[in-house]
Amino acid sequence: MWSCSCSCPPCPCPSTQRPPTRPQETERLLSDPAPGITAQPHEDNLRYFDVTIEGPGGSPFEHGIFKLELFLPEEYPMAPPKVRFLTKIYHPNIDKLGRICLDILKDTDKWSPALQIRTVLLSIQALLSAPNPDDPLATDVARHYKEDEGAALGVSREWTRVYASG
């Protein structure tokens, strides 16, 4: 039972809140990051992480450094984290608000408490390698990918150069 010196039941003090992640999960994110990915928890709110993902080699996002924010809802790990891109990106599965179309994030049947933040971030990095215009979130970008993939890849490369060059 969490307790503190205040008299409010139940105590909302930050020092008494249940930690939002499994401590070993956060420790591993910091001590053994996945290649091309960093995730740094906020000091004042351990539910928020500043994330960077390097664009995968061989993709139109190569050489880009993409900033994301990750938030762990109260229900985590029973519910998936909330993740969005802060860096502008031209991708059929990521909309202009940075929301990501990824089954483990949007489909509760695909999420499992056994999955971890690391798995989510690796899945997002893999999505950068394999845009899927058949399951789009940005329908205009998906249409462009389907109608003229070469031109769409060119726009993705240009946006990466302009918006994600560090």
12 domain-assigned: no
Q: Does any domain span residue 6?
A: no
Domain that holds residue 72: 19-163
CA atoms of 101 and 137, how far apart (whole Å): 6
Measuring CA to CA, how many Å separate 40 from each of 5, 22, 50, 85, 123? 30, 15, 5, 15, 18
Q: By C-alpha distance, which of 45, 84, 48, 47 is closest to 67?
A: 84
Integer Cα distance of 136 and 143 in angstroms:
9
Contact 134, 65 (CB under 8 A): no
**pLDDT of 21:** 57
> Per the structure, how many domains does the chain have?
1
Q: Is residue 14 part of a domain?
A: no
Q: Domain holding 120: CATH number?
A: 3.10.110.10
Is 125 a member of any domain? yes
Residue 7 is assigned to a structural domain of this protein: no
Tell me if 121 is assigned to some domain.
yes
Distance of alpha carbon 106 from alpha carbon 101, whole angstroms: 7
Structural domain contains residue 4:
no
Any residues with CB less than 8 A from the CB of 57 and at least 6 apart, and which?
none
| Amino acid found at 147 | E
Q: Are 62 and 49 in contact (CB under 8 A)?
A: no
pLDDT tens string, the chain, 166 residues long: the values are 333 333 444 444 444 445 555 677 888 888 888 999 999 999 899 899 999 999 999 999 999 999 999 999 999 999 999 999 999 999 999 999 999 999 999 988 899 999 999 999 999 999 999 999 999 999 999 999 999 999 999 999 999 999 999 6
The rounded Cα 47 to chain-centroid distance in angstroms is 13
Is 11 a member of any domain?
no
Catalytic positions, written as ranges = 101
pLDDT of residue 104: 95
pLDDT of 141: 99
Burial degree of 125 (CB within 10 A; 0-12, 13-18, 19+) = buried
